[in-house]
Amino acid sequence: MFYNPRMQKLGVFNLVTLDGYFAGENGDISWHQVDDEFAEFAEKNSNTGATLLFGRVTYQLMASYWPTPQAIKEDPIVAKGMNAAHKIVFSRTLRTAEWSNTRLVRSDLLGEIGKLKLVQGKGLTILGSGSLVAQLTEAGLIDEYQLLVIPIVLGNGKTMFEGVGDRPYLKLSDIRKFRNGSVLLKYCRK
């Protein structure tokens, strides 16, 4: 696909371990470090107007938390952004998508993403969703990767690049250090 500057950009935002996993065994994310500095960062970046994209597993995890009274009490700004955002879940097995402002797409991931990128908007952001990231990386459709590297080693887990064989080369576009030792790395396609 050729790049048109008026196209929506497709980005990924994921927390990853030092050894490159976005989730531990059985989807464990208990190692995510959320402190005041990261909470402030999340609040600032949670209401950008971007359309959020999910695979089934991440969608079900997010939909089970963000609309709850607990999430609204503990993290009201991020909860407001997550609940108000337009969301698309890609799944062949999910039958319905009940979370507010969510559309379910059951087939043609690459075709749908191609169409979405052509529509003017405030961007498309994948959260979690390793299988989506892998498929869209392989297809060359992801424009930016934002990886918050947490200084912990799991030894095993799930990588968001499982099965990617194309070896895309990326260019570092920004770095941000957090006081807790985490580092946000932003990469763009070359």
Whether 61 is covered by a domain: the verdict is yes
**What is the distance between the alpha carbons of residues 182 and 55, in angstroms, rounded to a whole number?**
26
Domain contains 142: yes
**Residue 134: inside a domain, yes or no?**
yes
- pLDDT of res. 6: 63
Range of the domain at 44: 10-18+36-189
Residue 2: its pLDDT value, please? 47
Is 29 inside a domain boundary?
no
- CATH assignment of the domain containing 174: 3.40.430.10
Q: Is 146 helix (H, G, I), strand (E, B) or coil?
A: strand
Residue 27 lies in a domain: no
Write out the chain's pLDDT in tens, 190 residues. Answer: 445 556 799 999 999 999 999 999 888 888 887 788 887 888 777 777 889 999 999 999 999 999 999 999 988 988 999 999 999 999 999 999 999 999 999 999 999 999 999 988 899 999 999 999 999 999 999 999 999 999 999 999 999 999 898 788 899 999 999 999 999 999 998 8
CA distances in angstroms from 11 to 66, 89, 123, 146, listed in the order given: 21, 15, 8, 7
pTM of the model: 0.90
- HSE toward the beta carbon, residue 108, CA cutoff 13 A: 5
Asked, for residue 130, whether it belongs to a domain, the answer is: yes
pLDDT attached to residue 75: 87
- Check residue 65 and give its pLDDT: 94
- Residues 21 and 96: their CA atoms lie apart, in Å, by 29
Domain count, the chain: 1
Query: For residue 144, is it within any domain?
Result: yes
pLDDT score, position 4? 56
Look at residue 25 and tell me if it is in a domain. no
